[in-house]
Structure 1
Amino acid sequence: MDEKTLLDSILECINYIVSKHGPSSDIAKKVRTRARSMPEYSFTRGLVYALVYVASRGSKDLVEMGLKAQKCEEIIDKIDETKKGNEEKSYAIYGAILLYVAKKLNIVKGDTFERIIYELTESPAAEIKVWSVLDWLKRFAEAYIHE
């Protein structure tokens, strides 16, 4: 796994959230909460279950944007334009960032949520690689976004 791409991609997303919304905004705090809770959820229930849970709370279509975006700001701007509340937006942003980074790292190849679910189900190695993304996303969210 390319550590530089991993760190650059996560920082791109976290920095954009902080610059657009501020490090203490409600939406930023909710994204931080997602980043803190989802790794444990993924380890106990499984990554596929955690991704489906995130999509069910934030919208599969919004989470799927992470697979098609060229820049993280596209994801956040499009999700911000929706009429969803901050809770739902935070799930969508978190899930989309996760898929955005996994796609940039070539951990996943598909371009639909459904395809990604099958890829991760069929490849324990891919799931293990995504755990690293979960952990780094958690650490950067904790460092950059205030409680």
Structure 2
Amino acid sequence: MNEELLHSILECINQITSKYGSSTDIARKIRSRARSIPAYSFTKGLVYSLVYIASRSSKDLVEIGLKAQKCEEIIVKIMEDKMSNEEKSYAIYGAILLYIAKKLNIVKGEGFDEIICDITRSPVAEIKMWSVLDWFKRFTEAYIHERE
């Protein structure tokens, strides 16, 4: 799983930086999500974190990650939305998490509700996602600059 995980994360980080740059407001907000959300996941659980992400953006936009064939689709579709950069950063982060979880067969569901049920029923899915959260955090810290 590690090689595919790292490849998937790099694919998404490269899409973020190619579409938004590495030090723009939205890129920095995505970096902030990647740094703060893992703490929620470890203390309150992954389900709480995913619902929190959806509440700060849009469940429908977060679900894009389940249907996307490439990470680029996530970035392009969310870029087109009229919401604020803050909301987009949550949507992109959440959609990327679901995209990677689906790609690595950590979750099987086709919709947000199904994913929540999958994770609730499977502690193994939550444990596997900790690695996704941690690696994504490290790569965003390395590739996206905190300041311009």
TM-score category, normalised to shorter length: over 0.9
Q: How does 1:41-52 map to 2 (within 5 A)?
A: 41-52=40-51
Instruction: Structure 2 unaligned segments of length 5 or more: list them.
Output: none
Residues 18-49 of structure 1: CA deviation (Å, up to 9, x unaligned): 01111000010000000000001111111100
What's the offset of the Cα at 1:4? 1.0
Q: Write the distance in 1 (CA, Å) between the matches of 2:84 and 2:120.
A: 31
Corresponding position of 1:129: 128
Corresponding position of 2:23: 24
Count of residue pairs brought into register by the alignment: 146
What's the offset of the Cα at 1:7? 0.4
Residue identity over aligned pairs, in percent, reads: 74
AA paired with 2:96?
A: I
Q: How does 1:86-97 map to 2 (within 5 A)?
A: 86-97=85-96
Instruction: Structure 1 unaligned segments of length 5 or more: list them.
Output: none
Q: Write the distance in 2 (CA, Å) between the matches of 1:51 and 1:131.
A: 13
How much is the aligned-residue C-alpha RMSD, in angstroms?
Answer: 0.5
Q: Write the distance in 1 (CA, Å) between the matches of 2:20 and 2:94.
A: 18
Q: Write the distance in 2 (CA, Å) between the matches of 1:122 and 1:68.
A: 22
SS across alignment from 1:121: helix
- What is the TM-score when the length of structure 2 is the normalising length? 0.98
Q: Does 1:80 align with 2:79?
A: yes
AA paired with 2:11?
A: E
Q: Write the distance in 1 (CA, Å) between the matches of 2:18 and 2:66.
A: 23
Following TM superposition, where does structure 1 have runs of at least 4 consecutive aligned residues deviating by more than 6 angstroms?
A: none
What's the offset of the Cα at 1:117? 0.1
What's the offset of the Cα at 1:58? 1.1
SS across alignment from 1:18: helix
Q: Write the distance in 1 (CA, Å) between the matches of 2:50 and 2:23.
A: 26
Q: How does 1:1-147 map to 2 (within 5 A)?
A: 2-147=1-146
What's the offset of the Cα at 1:91? 0.2
- What is the TM-score when the length of structure 1 is the normalising length? 0.98
SS across alignment from 1:107: coil
AA paired with 1:133?
A: V
